[in-house]
Amino acid sequence: MTDTFEIRDLHVSVEDKPILKGVNLVVPKGQVHALMGPNGSGKSTLANTILGHPKYTVTRGDIRMKGESILEWDTDERARRGLFLAFQYPCEVPGVRVSNFLRMACNARAGRELDVMEFYEKLEEKMKKLDMDERWVKRYLNEGFSGGEKKRNEILQMLMLEPEFAVMDETDSGLDIDALKIVAHGVNELRGPNIGILIITHYERILRYIQPDAVHILVDGRIVKSGDADLATHLEQHGYDWITKEVVA
């Protein structure tokens, strides 16, 4: 299992408060997994920890990509090596134009200065896919973007950076139905043998468009149940109560 993304017995604290309490998860390349769970269960904590956010301390366990532990890598090194996080709350960076930022990010990911024309051709193609017009990339990064626009901008970055493993943290929340279809279409095109994707969501809706290979449920810092796509449908109808009961019992 070298071409996998693997989380082993992961324990994470924020300000000395334990949030993740032994998460185990394996996403092989070529697969899409969904992670669901009640508010505050630790989903974003997991996502941020994968990218090495300094606020989140790994107290035990490991995160491995293609057989190598990533814990010692800085955030930017993780990104350059192919990890990507579509943020639940992308932050605004006034004064930085989307196009300039994307070009620097793509250069960093490629490890070399990309041809400017090539870059813009690719950008145009991806924007078309996401139904974005060119005014978009002249704006300042996320500044004044609507909730849905921010999410779409995250996916644009994901399509441009072509990660090997991507986490999408509630990308579907805040998207209207048309935008959701567009985004799902973009993700489906990226999907393939060279990428593993973890979709964090509260709703089965997005999983109708992006069929997951597996669904995991995180409750109170642990994955308490895994299954196939039907698990998401079941959750949608019955909520999390039955799981908590099942786990306690």
Ligand X SMILES: Nc1ncnc2c1ncn2[C@@H]1O[C@H](COP(=O)(O)OP(=O)(O)OP(=O)(O)O)[C@@H](O)[C@H]1O
Window 1-30: residues binding ligand X (CB under 6 A): 14-15, 19
Under the binding rule (CB under 8 A), the answer on residue 45 touching another protein is no
**Phi and psi angles of residue 134, each rounded to the nearest 5 degrees, phi first:** -70, -15
The region of 10-18, 51-59, 129-137, 206-214 touching another protein under the rule CB under 8 A is 51-59
40 contact choice in ligand X, another protein, Mg ion, none (CB below 5 to 8 Å, kind-dependent): ligand X
Instruction: Give the closest residue to 166 by CA, choosing from 75, 31, 73, 54.
Output: 31
Rounded Cα distance, 111 and 91, in Å: 25
Under the binding rule (CB under 8 A), the answer on residue 44 touching another protein is no
What residues does 6 pair with on adjacent strands?
A: 26, 64
Rounded Cα distance, 72 and 78, in Å: 9
109 contact choice in another protein, Mg ion, ligand X, none (CB below 5 to 8 Å, kind-dependent): another protein
96 contact choice in another protein, ligand X, Mg ion, none (CB below 5 to 8 Å, kind-dependent): another protein
Under the binding rule (CB under 6 A), the answer on residue 35 touching ligand X is no
Window 166-205: residues binding ligand X (CB under 6 A): none
- Least distance in Å: CB of 173 to ligand X? 9
All residues at 6 or more sequence positions from 22 whose CB lies less than 8 Å from its CB, including other chains: 9, 10, 11, 60, 61, 221, 222
Q: Which amino acid is at 120?
A: Y
What residues does 227 pair with on adjacent strands?
A: 215
Residues of the shown chain interacting with another protein in the complex, contacts defined by CB under 8 A: 51, 53-55, 74-76, 78-80, 84-85, 87, 90-91, 93-96, 101, 104-105, 108-109, 140, 157, 161
